[in-house]
Amino acid sequence: MAGAFDAARGAVPVMTPSAPVEGYLRHLTVERGLARNSITSYRRDLAIYAGWLDAHSFDGPGEVGEQDLADFVRYLGTEREPPLATSSIARVLSAVRGLHRFLAEEGAIAADVSRELRPPKLPMRLPKAIPVEEIEALIEAAGGEELHELRDVALLELLYATGARVSEAVSLNVDDLVDEEVVRLFGKGGKQRIVPLGSYARRAVDAYLVRARPVLSARGSATPALFLGLRGRRMSRQAAWDVIHRAADRAGLAASVSPHTLRHSFATHLLEGGADVRVVQELLGHSSVATTQIYTLVTADTLREMYTAAHPRAR
């Protein structure tokens, strides 16, 4: 494994904590095909680990023992400035466990001492969904006849109609509109799924394609991207976030609204309408139904609230 070179030692290779990290990131990129955003997240989290190793004079993960990892967990939560939240600690430790497992499988370290490493327990956080009336107000607030307004409505309608992640939506090409009825989405790890569009989203996307996208496309170089910025380039994730924030402000929505709010609302409203949880799992692109089942807790909470408010002997 490659290392840095120490000039004082006559160009003798010296192992650094960042070298195995780079090898692991190459593995995630090339062999596992993780998306760029996922690699960026792994790189950021493992940089924290590599920095800690370097600060404590470890040449690499191979010198770390179980107690050292326990010390690292304590550092993340109490000693680091600023300390990380429980959810962030869990994410960093997941990356560290993956790194150690990879190095052990490759024979680069003698043993995987991270196998028994357990992240702190996360408090259960239910997804935030907003009522259908607020979804309608959000989309209406984005509407208008300007080019960007036609695009923004199409984007919001598509996000709510399909439950797409914002990264999936801005990565869409025109050809991913398979026909008038469905759209092809590419999820984590390049996993493909086909999702119905719905009549509202179809009309909004059609209006954008006919009246706005040709004009926007002429402003830039040829691109197959579905959603374009005002300069004719593919719309960015940040631009999509900005669209939602502006519409939420104009609609006067008190709750914090994000692209994931639309995804959560999509799933929650489907389940409230009687959709099977496994159908919702497929539509969301979840690899495990357990991930989707958290939305059933949201609808159960709603039922309990309605029962308590309405039943004469509930209180």
The residue count of the chain comes to 315
Q: Is the peptide bond before 127 cis (omega within 30 degrees of 0)?
A: no
Separation between Cα atoms, residue 291 and residue 297, nearest integer Å: 11
Separation between Cα atoms, residue 230 and residue 215, nearest integer Å: 9
Instruction: Give the list of residues 6+ apart from residue 56 with CB closer than 8 angstroms, or none.
Output: 68
Q: Is 36 helix (H, G, I), strand (E, B) or coil?
A: helix
Write the Ramachandran bin of 229: left for phi over 0, alpha for psi from -120 to 50, otherwise beta. Answer: beta
Positive or negative, the Cα torsion across 122, 124, 125, 126? Answer: positive
CA dihedral angle for residue 258, residue 261, residue 262, residue 264, rounded to 10 degrees: 150
Per the listing, tokens 């960026």 go with: 40
Residues labelled catalytic:
165, 188, 260, 263, 286, 295
Separation between Cα atoms, residue 205 and residue 150, nearest integer Å: 8
Separation between Cα atoms, residue 97 and residue 66, nearest integer Å: 12
Element (H, E) at 14: strand 12-14
Task: Calculate ∠ Cα 230-235-241, nearest 5°.
Answer: 105
Task: Calculate ∠ Cα 146-148-151, nearest 5°.
Answer: 110
Q: Count helices and strands (H / E) in the chain.
A: 13, 4
